[in-house]
């Protein structure tokens, strides 16, 4: 009976950990699912313990499968992330058990004597290990929820493999500590696992380092962009007045045409037609980026045209939207072909907002799969394209790069979040 | 069967610009081998909004507001397309109110007008009409006006924009399937083919279409339609 209660508590603690690792607060649905899966996990463990149908690895696999289904249902996260997180409690429980048992055995008896410890201090050990697991798992859950949402699917799989290797190493130590059972095949297996873990840790560090560097670069881009936007805002206010004058000027010279002041009117008309005024989209944050890049493009001798439905509210965070546009336009400006033409189109279509940048190119830049061909000359494309893909994906949007008629056409669609 | 004519109306108070835009459209539509009719005017007064028309409006006309004209056209004939055409980019900011198809800068007229025409054709379609007999009358309806086809018993129901009841005709879904696929239709369920251009939104388990029509589909079909629609929207 006691064992069943302990199993129930353990199942409950694992479910609490899984819930906390993906959701901040429970909802009615998650509470019901948590209760159902706690019972399922408990029944499974109790059934295995009672009837000894399959133990060790078999039991762990089924238990992970049950917990993975639970987590998938409450979080909707990818399977790789779900499996990574559901493996964590098994490693935590085993490592806490082994550490606590070893520590108290050494404290009470000056060496490893698990049977005696279990006989004399079973209740204390159970209580301590569960409390420790609760504390450690909750801290882990918070870290998982807040700090690991950027992990890619392949990162999650790497960590999952690492956790499985850790689990095997811990199982070896469990056998050693609790049953003093170790054999040559186990030692070989564990040493292989340790070597494998070392390789994976190095690989993971290298990969995470690259991700952090890419993140820093994005952060740097954001800071540069903010500086550009700030400096452009004061410039734009002055230009707005100029635009108003230009607009009035057209009406004025039209009134003067075919009168005795026709000559002056013609001069004014010529002046009006030769003016290069900025695009004004003050209501939308992307207007600032469009203008900043408009100036950059003009300085580089690029013919930069826009066709924009200015009422489009793109359902993205201001900085993300600016970063997305700035990357799209940077790619177009820096990798422009000799045609030197850029066309910016922003409109909406069905329940999506659409951004399309068309720029001239001199030769193929995409392979047959639509992916960029990176060479030494256009390596800068890589960072920009990754940022575009990540931002688009973060907002459940889609991105397409196509070549047509000597142009690169980059199209991004983002759900507008409005009902049409 | 001839393809549909493209009806074009150009309104610009500047006579030189009017001729320039007209000439440009003659060239573009001629090269694209699209049969067309062009009407030009220096003002909207005296004209009435026409359906399925490609309007090219100057924004900045003394005494007339291009946006008001566009709004009037939109209100009366939503099937028409509005293309604003102006000299300066700074007027883009006002091109927000009406349902604008495109904004063309006169300094880059040829190139941008070509894009506007291409977009119009992609969106509205100029393919041959869908023809059928209903109540002993012959009907010819642009594919772009058909929201969906569905089977009901031995009949094929054709739901068309601005038509309260679907037309029921003695045709099979199989007989129209290939033509429908060419005109951006997609199978949503075994009995429905929907025009991707008329999808408003997709919220599992429904596909919401123009004019408040909605179709219930299975989870797999919803995913298939959503994927096809995203691909369609990215290339449109």
Q: Are residues A46 and A177 in the same domain?
A: yes
Q: Are residues A27 and A167 in the same domain?
A: yes
Complex ipTM value: 0.72
Q: Which residue has the higher pLDDT, A307 or A40?
A: A40
Residue A76 has pLDDT above 70, yes or no: yes
The verdict on residue A348 lying in a domain is yes
DSSP notation for A271-303: HHHH--PPP--TTSHHHHHHHHHHHHHHHTT-E
Distance from chain centroid for Cα A162: 21
Q: Are residues A167 and A304 in the same domain?
A: no
Distance from chain centroid for Cα B48: 19
Q: Stretch B99-106: mean pLDDT, rounded?
A: 74
**Residue range of the domain that includes A409:** 281-420
In 3D space, the residue among A328, A342, A346 whose CA is nearest the CA of residue A407 turns out to be A342
The verdict on residue A197 lying in a domain is no
Q: Stretch A149-162: mean pLDDT, rounded?
A: 81
Q: Stretch B110-124: mean pLDDT, rounded?
A: 82
Residue B96 banded pLDDT, cuts 50, 70, 90? very low
Q: Stretch A285-301: mean pLDDT, rounded?
A: 80
pLDDT at B106: 79
What chain B holds in terms of domains, given with CATH numbers, is: 6-124 (3.40.50.2300), 130-235 (2.40.50.1020)
Residue A350 has pLDDT above 90, yes or no: no
Among A224-238, A259-273, B52-66, the least confident range: A224-238
Kindly give the interhelix angle for A318-334 and A285-299, rounded to the nearest 10 degrees. 20
Residues A331-344: pLDDT tens digits?
A: 888 888 888 888 88
Q: Are residues A162 and A43 in the same domain?
A: yes
Q: Are residues A178 and A291 in the same domain?
A: no
Give contacts of B95 with chain A, Cβ < 8 Å.
308-310
Give contacts of A392 with chain B, Cβ < 8 Å.
none
Q: Is B127 on the interface with A (CB under 8 A)?
A: no
Nearest 10 degrees: Cα torsion B188, B194, B197, B198: -110
What are the backbone angles phi and psi of residue A69, rounded to the nearest 5°? -60, -45
Q: Are residues A64 and A171 in the same domain?
A: yes
Domain boundary among A144, A162, A182: A182
Domain boundary among A147, A182, A217: A182
Q: What is the count of structural domains for chain A? A: 2
- Cβ distance of B90 and A278 shorter than 8 Å: yes
The verdict on residue A332 lying in a domain is yes
Q: Is B203 on the interface with A (CB under 8 A)?
A: no
A 383-412 near B (Cβ less than 8 A): 398-400, 402, 411
User: Of all residues in chain B, what percent carry a pLDDT higher than 90?
Assistant: 14
Å between A398 CA and nearest CA of chain B = 7
Residue A334, domain CATH: 3.30.565.10
User: Of all residues in chain A, what percent carry a pLDDT higher than 90?
Assistant: 5
Give contacts of B234 with chain A, Cβ < 8 Å.
398-400, 411, 413
Q: Which residue has the higher pLDDT, A306 or A203?
A: A203
Q: Are residues A6 and A126 in the same domain?
A: yes
Q: Are residues A169 and A23 in the same domain?
A: yes
The verdict on residue A192 lying in a domain is no
The verdict on residue A269 lying in a domain is no
Residues A113-150: pLDDT tens digits?
A: 778 888 888 888 888 998 999 999 889 888 888 776 66
Residues A32-62: pLDDT tens digits?
A: 888 998 888 888 888 877 776 666 677 778 8
Q: Are residues A313 and A176 in the same domain?
A: no
Mutate to test the interface with B, among A309, A352, A402, A419 (most CBs of B within 10 A): A309
CB atoms within 10 A of CB A338: 9
Residue B95 banded pLDDT, cuts 50, 70, 90? very low
Among A312-321, B86-95, B99-108, the least confident range: B86-95
| Omega before residue A288 within 30° of 0, cis | no
Residue B127 has pLDDT above 60, yes or no: no
List the single residue in B with minimal CA-CA distance to A257: B14
Q: Is A418 on the interface with B (CB under 8 A)?
A: no
What are the backbone angles phi and psi of residue B164, rounded to the nearest 5°? -60, -40
Domain boundary among A120, A152, A182: A182
Give contacts of A255 with chain B, Cβ < 8 Å.
62
């Amino acid at each position: 009976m006691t064992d069943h209660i302990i199993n129930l508590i353990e199942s409950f603690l694992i479910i609490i950990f899984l819930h906390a690792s993906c959701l901040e607060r429970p909802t009615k649905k998650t509470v019901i699912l948590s209760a159902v899966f706690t019972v399922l996990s408990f029944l499974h463990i109790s059934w295995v313990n009672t009837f000894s149908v399959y133990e060790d690895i078999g039991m762990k696999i089924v238990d992970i499968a049950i917990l993975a289904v639970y987590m998938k249902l409450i979080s909707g996260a990818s399977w790789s992330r779900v499996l990574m997180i559901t493996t964590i409690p098994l490693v935590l429980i085993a490592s806490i058990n082994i550490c606590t048992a070893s520590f108290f055995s050494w404290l009470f008896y000056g060496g490893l004597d698990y049977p005696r410890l279990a006989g004399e201090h079973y209740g204390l050990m159970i209580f301590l290990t569960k409390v420790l697991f609760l504390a450690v798992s909750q801290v882990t859950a918070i870290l998982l929820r807040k700090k690991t949402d950027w992990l890619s699917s392949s990162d999650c799989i790497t960590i999952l493999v690492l956790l499985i290797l850790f689990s095997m190493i811990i199982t070896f130590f469990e056998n050693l500590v609790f049953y003093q059972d170790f054999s040559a095949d186990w030692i070989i297996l564990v040493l292989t696992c340790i070597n494998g873990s070392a390789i994976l840790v190095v690989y993971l560090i290298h990969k995470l380092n690259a991700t952090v560097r890419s993140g820093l670069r994005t952060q740097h881009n954001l800071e540069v962009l903010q500086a550009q936007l700030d400096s452009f805002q004061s410039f734009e206010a002055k230009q707005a007045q100029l635009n108003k004058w230009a607009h009035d000027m057209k009406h004025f010279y039209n009134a003067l045409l075919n009168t005795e002041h026709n000559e002056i009117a013609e001069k004014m008309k010529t002046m009006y037609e030769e003016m290069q005024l900025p695009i004004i989209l003050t209501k939308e944050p992307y207007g600032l980026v469009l203008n900043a890049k408009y100036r950059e493009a003009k300085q580089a001798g690029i013919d930069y045209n826009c066709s924009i439905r200015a009422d489009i509210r793109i359902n993205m965070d201001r900085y993300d939207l600016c970063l997305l546009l700035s990357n799209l336009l940077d790619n177009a400006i820096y990798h422009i072909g000799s045609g030197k033409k850029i066309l910016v189109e922003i409109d909406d279509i069905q329940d999506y907002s659409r951004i399309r940048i068309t720029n001239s190119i001199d030769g193929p830049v995409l392979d047959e799969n639509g992916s960029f061909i990176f060479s030494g000359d256009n390596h800068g494309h890589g960072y920009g394209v990754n940022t575009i893909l990540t931002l688009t994906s973060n907002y459940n949007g889609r991105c397409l790069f196509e070549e047509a008629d000597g142009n690169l056409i980059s199209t991004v669609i983002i759900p507008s979040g409005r009902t049409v | 069967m001839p393809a549909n004519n493209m009806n074009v109306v150009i309104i610009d108070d500047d006579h030189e610009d009017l001729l320039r835009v007209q000439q440009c459209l003659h060239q573009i539509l001629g090269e694209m081998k699209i049969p067309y009719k062009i009407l030009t005017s220096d003002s909207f007064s005296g004209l009435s909004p026409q359906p399925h028309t490609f309007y090219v409006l100057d924004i900045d006309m003394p005494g007339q507001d291009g946006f008001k004209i566009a709004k009037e056209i939109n209100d009366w004939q939503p099937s028409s397309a509005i293309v604003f055409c102006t000299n300066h980019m700074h007027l883009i900011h006002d091109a927000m109110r009406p349902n604008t198809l495109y904004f063309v800068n006169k300094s880059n007229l040829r190139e941008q007008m070509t894009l506007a025409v291409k977009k119009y054709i992609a969106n509205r379609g100029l393919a041959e009409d869908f023809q059928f007999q209903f109540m002993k009358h012959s009907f010819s309806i642009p594919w772009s006006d058909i929201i969906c086809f569905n089977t009901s018993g031995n009949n094929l129901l054709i739901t068309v924009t601005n038509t309260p009841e679907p037309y029921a005709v003695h045709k099979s879904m199989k007989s129209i399937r290939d033509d429908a696929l060419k005109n951006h239709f997609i199978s949503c369920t075994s009995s429905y083919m929907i025009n991707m251009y008329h999808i408003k939104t997709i919220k599992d388990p429904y596909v919401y279409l123009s004019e408040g029509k909605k179709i219930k589909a299975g989870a797999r079909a919803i995913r298939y339609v959503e994927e096809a629609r995203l691909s369609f929207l990215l290339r449109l």
